[in-house]
Amino acid sequence: MSKDTPHLLVAEENGIMIATLNRPEKLNALSADMLALFEEALHRFRDSPSLKVMLIRATGRYFCAGSDLSGGSSASMPTTGSGIREMHRLHLNGMHRIYDEMEHIEKPIVVAHHAMCVGGGLELSLSCDFRLAAKSAGYAFPEGKMGVLPASNGVSRLVRIIGTAWSRYIIMANLPVTADRALTMGLVQEVYPDESFEEDAMAFCQHLVKQNAEQMGAAKIAIELANDVGLAQARHVERLANSALMLNPDYQEMMQKHVKTIGRKKDK
């Protein structure tokens, strides 16, 4: 592949932004260039009313082999614990900033794993709203082999999604998982046949495009808040969200149609 070939390909199709990791010769390792292009695309997705869904996919025999350790930041490794903590928070090619923005955008972000997804690629995927897997996909955090933790979403977000028991299996036991086991864990929401995977992933995104955008945005916030607070407070979150949604003209119009339909059925 030419050195001039972009590390990320971006296209738009019927309200869907498609961002494709495009370093197959490097197993789509997350380079500084790739993450810069990804953040630019993410902001365009956020700021474009015509774009309803973002789909992240990849080319080649890996979805992503993790962070590019061969040609990333020119900064030297910190020599203190506090320096390492700040490195994770502020540097790493902006990973934390990007992952936070993915979680804050009130639009659905879908990632489609056609093959193995490990390390930094899995951490990026954990900030997506929906994770779809082909039958031949697989998942792992190889950081444990080097005696460290996946520290950019790998613990904090993983445990929120699959719980402590399965997080121990992936991180402490350092064992890879298949797509089918990932479905059992709750790490992915769907597993599709390899042969139809691209079509199935696009069909899922097209389904999301048809959903009510205000409802999905409010749901994205409400679900996260409800996960953070107790039951009583979570019910307040529900009520607060619906107090805005039920004033939406779309909702009121649909309810009026629903009431008229019920009235016609009763008249019969």
Could you tell me what percent of the chain has a pLDDT over 90?
A: 74
Tell me which of 105-119, 128-142, 252-266 is least confident.
Answer: 252-266
Per-residue pLDDT, averaged over 163-192, amounts to 97
pLDDT of residue 4: 73
Domain ranges of the chain: 8-209, 213-267
Q: How far, CA to CA in Å, does 9 sit from each of 37, 49, 62, 120, 139? A: 9, 21, 16, 19, 23
Looking at residue 196, what is its pLDDT?
Answer: 98
Strands 130-134 and 16-21: unpaired
Beta partners for residue 20, in sequence order: 9, 57
Residues 6 or more apart from 34 whose CB is under 8 A from it? Answer: 7, 8, 21, 23, 28, 68
The whole-number pLDDT of residue 75 equals 55
Q: Decide if 118 contacts 182 (C-beta within 8 A).
A: no
Q: Which residues pair with 57 in a beta bridge?
A: 20
pLDDT of residue 87: 61
Locate 90 and state its tokens.
Answer: 């502020």
**pLDDT value of residue 74:** 44
- Per-residue pLDDT tens for 209-244? 999 999 999 999 999 999 999 999 999 999 999 998
Taking residue 78's Cβ as centre, other Cβ atoms within 10 Å add up to 14
Per-residue pLDDT at 51 exceeds 90:
yes
Q: Report whether pLDDT(79) > 90.
A: no
- CATH no. for 8-209: 3.90.226.10
For 203, the enclosing helix (H) or strand (E) is helix 197-209
Q: In terms of Cα–Cα distance, which of 196, 142, 132 is closest to 171?
A: 142
Q: Whose structure tokens read 């992503």? A: 64
Q: Which amino acid, 67?
A: S
Q: Please check the confidence at residue 71 and state whether its pLDDT lies above 80.
A: no
Instruction: Tally Cβ neighbours within 10 Å of residue 238.
Output: 13
Q: Band of the pLDDT at 140, cuts 50, 70, 90?
A: very high
Instruction: Tell me if the pTM is above 0.75.
Output: yes
Q: Greater confidence, 87 or 205?
A: 205
3-state DSSP assignment of residue 242: helix
- Does the structure show a pLDDT above 80 at 106? yes
Q: Confidence class of residue 72 from pLDDT cuts 50, 70 and 90?
A: very low
Look at the alpha carbons of 76, 81, 82, 88 in this order and tell me if their dihedral is positive or negative: positive
Question: How many other CB atoms sit within 10 Å of the CB of residue 34?
Answer: 22
Terminal CA-CA length for the chain: 68
What region does 19 belong to: left with phi over 0, alpha with psi -120 to 50, or beta? beta
